[in-house]
Amino acid sequence: MTDPSGQIDHVLAESRTFPPPPEFTAKAVFSTMDQYEAAYRRAAEDRDGFWRDEATEHLHWFEPFQEVCRWQAPNAEWFVGGKTNASYNCLDRNIDAGRGDRTAIVWEGEPGDTRSLTYSELRTEVAKCAAALRELGVGVGDVVSVYMPMTPELAVTMLACARIGAIHSVIFAGFSAESIADRNNDAGAKVIVTADGLHRRGKVLPLKETVDEALAKSPTVQKCLVLRRVGQDGVSMQEGRDVWWHELVDKQSGDLPAVPLDSETTLFILYTSGSTGKPKGIRHTTAGYNLWAKRTFQWVFDHRDEDVYWCTADCGWITGHSYIVYGPLSAGATCLMYEGAPNHPAEDRFWELVEKYKVSVLYTAPTAIRAFIKWGDEHVEKHDLTSLRLLGSVGEGINPEAWMWYHRKIGNERCPIVDTWWQTETGGIMMSPLPGITATKPGSCTRPLPGVFPKIVDESGQPVEANHGGMLCIAEPWPGMLRGIWGDEERFIEQYWSKVPGMYLTGDNARQDEDGYYWIMGRIDDVINVSGHRLSTIEVESALVSHELVCEAAVVGRPDDLKGQAIAAFVTVRGGEPDEALRKELQQHVRNQIGALAQPDDLRFAAALPKTRSGKIMRRLLRDIAAGHEVVGDTSTLEDYSVLAKLRDED
């Protein structure tokens, strides 16, 4: 089994457990193990009954559903025949329940500007934006690309699409023009919403310029709505195509009602990396996803009315979709939203925000935690963090050292930590401690939530014994599951449903210990996890070989103290000796092709790449070389040993 993150050894040795603090348990949503076991059992024995009750109680229905789950692997339909609306569930439903004056979003920009929106105010903004999108020709089933900074308008745009049955496709604002164009074209986007720029570490990034470049290659996009965020001068606006947010949205009346939509109406697509070069548009639908995001939020974050909840993700990723927008807002939570970097203007920015807004529930990523450890405890110690009561982690496995620091320094040994395992495809959290009842073990996502039935199987699809690693699959459908890959049914079946018949293949390796706890052990495919973001090594390779001087490229992950995995590229080039200038040029080339997050950390030139006799690149060898390990294992199939020797010497 491969362990690209190098974490398995620590994790196998981990035996500490941390029971939930009794005072936490006393008030918790799940406060006894019996309650969890009963819910888990009912979801197993009476799937339809369990989810019928959940959906009836926790979503608004314009028209009731007739059937709970129509399942014919791999196709699921949930709450068939019902009509609901995710924007209604997030906004109107709370307002109707008398919660209109509660703060929905409290926002801080990187420069320190702030805004706060109640549920009623947020609904007005969403309705205005929805009306504006309609004026731009957007209707049910149309795709709207969204390339925006972390401002309230980003959430507003998502909810505005949901309000009128349009499909949002949010593209993280760090992606390149090329990546935006690919996504626009794959989705057939009709409109794009963007901003003049965004603030990042004190600088302004000109988003609209990037979008202009993308639109030159995006024939389906007819209109571009532009938010003025940074007040950039000289933004070029193309007559007939581009329109300012403040000119179009602000003049709308703000009373546009939510459209009743079939349960299975596509709510959004979100592109993520798979094991090929082409990102896939993961498709989620309205009712099942909305219910999953809401209930998992309430269960895992133990939501209480008095909470101030902060998820530090960006809405460009699934974490932002489910746990900044749809989950917490459906639950009527008060959410902090922050635009910028954790170390601007100084390394204590997060802790300043926690203190200032009295954040009680904090959800962040191991890569951020490792950066805080590196920056030093003094930044944390300057601030009063006593408002915190619960901490969460997502994006990759949290190494026990980071877990312990989070527990001691941020949680003051008082706050449970929920290590949440899930994926873009699962729509929401699948495995996590329930903070009032689960004794946690650093590095384990513990046990599945009600309605989740994990199975660990070997190559032949047979279940493995306790403590043996294997492929993690999910045996039954759940409401938040992906409904497909946009425009590519074949790939959907091939990727998730063909290797182990009848079960959803997650792509992760896992192990279950003697207490039934799950430990995630890295990917089974060529996907790497860089700072909690998924990247396909082949995607980076394709970007490299698109450069005219590159003949061949192989990309692997190597362990990195901060990012979890860093990107190492091995490249063969044509036309003379490669030099430092070419190395920089190739790194920049990948940045232009995909975005800064894909830029290789190491780039080594080689005369040839090590291959098997059948011509397959020997990735295991390259991984060892990239990690600086001695190459171990069977190399007898190596085509040319001298290649290996050259690669090793190259530093």
Residues near ligand WT7 (CB under 6 A): 272, 317-319, 394-397, 419-424, 445, 506-508, 520, 523, 529, 534
Taking the complex as a whole, how short is the minimal distance between the CB of residue 146 and ligand WT7, in angstroms?
18
CA-based torsion, 286, 292, 295, 296: positive or negative: negative
Nearer to ligand WT7, 30 or 317 (CB): 317
Per-residue burial over 24-50, b if 16 or more Cβ lie within 10 Å, else e, is bbeebbbbeeeebeebbebbeeebeeb
254 Cβ contact list (under 8 Å, min separation 6): 123, 124, 125, 127, 128, 131
Question: Phi and psi (nearest 5°) for 185?
Answer: -70, -40
Nearer to ligand WT7, 178 or 419 (CB): 419
Taking the complex as a whole, how short is the minimal distance between the CB of residue 631 and ligand WT7, in angstroms?
26
Separation between Cα atoms, residue 651 and residue 636, nearest integer Å = 24
Nearer to ligand WT7, 197 or 507 (CB): 507
Q: Which amino acid is at 238?
A: Q
Nearest to 278 by CA among 486, 559, 448, 131: 486
Taking the complex as a whole, how short is the minimal distance between the CB of residue 362 and ligand WT7, in angstroms?
15
Taking the complex as a whole, how short is the minimal distance between the CB of residue 428 and ligand WT7, in angstroms?
9
Taking the complex as a whole, how short is the minimal distance between the CB of residue 326 and ligand WT7, in angstroms?
14
Question: Which segments of 408-536 are extended strands (E)?
Answer: 417-419, 454-457, 470-474, 484-485, 504-512, 518-523, 527-530, 533-536
Radius of gyration of the chain (CA): 24
Nearer to ligand WT7, 348 or 419 (CB): 419
C-beta nearest to ligand WT7: residue: 424
Separation between Cα atoms, residue 260 and residue 256, nearest integer Å = 12
Nearer to ligand WT7, 528 or 603 (CB): 528
Taking the complex as a whole, how short is the minimal distance between the CB of residue 349 and ligand WT7, in angstroms?
22
Separation between Cα atoms, residue 230 and residue 226, nearest integer Å = 11
Q: In sequence order, what are the beta bridge partners of 281?
A: 271
Nearer to ligand WT7, 242 or 396 (CB): 396
Question: Phi and psi (nearest 5°) for 425?
Answer: -70, -30
Separation between Cα atoms, residue 328 and residue 330, nearest integer Å = 6
Nearer to ligand WT7, 114 or 498 (CB): 498
Q: In sequence order, what are the beta bridge partners of 473?
A: 455, 505
Taking the complex as a whole, how short is the minimal distance between the CB of residue 87 and ligand WT7, in angstroms?
23
Nearer to ligand WT7, 123 or 534 (CB): 534
Taking the complex as a whole, how short is the minimal distance between the CB of residue 448 and ligand WT7, in angstroms?
13
